[in-house]
A and B are shown apart, each in its own frame.
Chain A
Amino acid sequence: AQKITQTQPGMFVQEKEAVTLDCTYDTSDPSYGLFWYKQPSSGEMIFLIYQGSYDQQNATEGRYSLNFQKARKSANLVISASQLGDSAMYFCAMREAGAGSYQLTFGKGTKLSVIP
């Protein structure tokens, strides 16, 4: 079973509009972290936002917020006021702390295109 599922291969959004990128995860570990990264065409993975499994509030970082629904095992990224520079691949990732592993498990990503 996939640990991280991103069901939207591609998304389009009008400039200045908000967009939600979906991510669901699968783990039996009660302690885990969820991360979102942005990958422009240049290839570098840019960290955007983090949510811990025990965090009571949804994470926010500037125009990025994470809609964390623990019971549904979803961690959707919301980008407000989209900009042309937001066009990129977006990856959701998870680290399961209980196994003592430090590796991140990534989804397949969503390609976001911002239309002027």
Chain B
Amino acid sequence: DTGVSQDPRHKITKRGQNVTFRCDPISEHNRLYWYRQTLGQGPEFLTYFQNEAQLEKSRLLSDRFSAERPKGSFSTLEIQRTEQGDSAMYLCASSPKRRSHQETQYFGPGTRLLVL
């Protein structure tokens, strides 16, 4: 049973560069989420897709951040003109559609970003 996968696992970049992360959800899951986790904190919600539609975005998702899920399968998160404050772990999660709040989100291993 394949879980959520993320690529790359680690990324070091210089301030001002653009970076793109990829997330492959569990195959039968139609909901996909991005979270950001900084040191010593719990994950913070960034955005959510149902199939290819981006239905929810956090205020944390500034104009420099963009996420896509073009065919309702994998998703990409791009950060333009990176800043040192973007250094964090970026977590992707997916969940199957359920008609209750019991939808469990299953997380990938994360991408650790370091902006120098």
**Co-complex (A, B):** yes
Contact B89 A43 (CB under 8 A): yes
Query: A104-B45, A107-B42 are known contacts. Are A47 and B56 too (CB-CB below 8 A)?
Result: no
Query: A33-B101, A50-B104, A103-B56 are known contacts. Are A43 and B42 too (CB-CB below 8 A)?
Result: no
Residue of B nearest to A29 (CB): B101
**For the complex, what is the distance from the CA of A106 to the CA of B16, rounded to whole Å?**
30
Across chains A and B, the number of contacting residue pairs, with CB separation under 8 Å, is 70
Residue of B nearest to A101 (CB): B56
The stretch among B18-26, B71-79, B105-113 that forms the contact with chain A is B105-113
Q: Mark A14-58, 1 if CB is under 8 A from B, else 0.
A: 000000000000000001110101000011111100101100000
Contact A103 B33 (CB under 8 A): yes
Query: A37-B107, A102-B48, A103-B48 are known contacts. Are A45 and B43 too (CB-CB below 8 A)?
Result: yes
Residue of A nearest to B104 (CB): A47
Q: Which residues of chain A are near B48, meaning CB under 8 Å?
A: 102-103
Contact B107 A103 (CB under 8 A): no
Check if B2 is an interface residue, CB within 8 A of chain A.
no
Contact A109 B42 (CB under 8 A): yes
Check if A93 is an interface residue, CB within 8 A of chain B.
yes
Q: Which residues of A contact B (CB under 8 A)?
A: 4, 31-33, 35, 37, 42-47, 50, 52-53, 91, 93, 95-97, 101-109
Q: Which residues of B contact A (CB under 8 A)?
A: 31, 33, 35, 40-45, 48, 55-56, 58, 89, 91, 93, 95, 100-110, 112
Q: Which 3 A/B pairs are nearest by Cβ-Cβ distance?
A: A106-B42, A97-B101, A45-B107
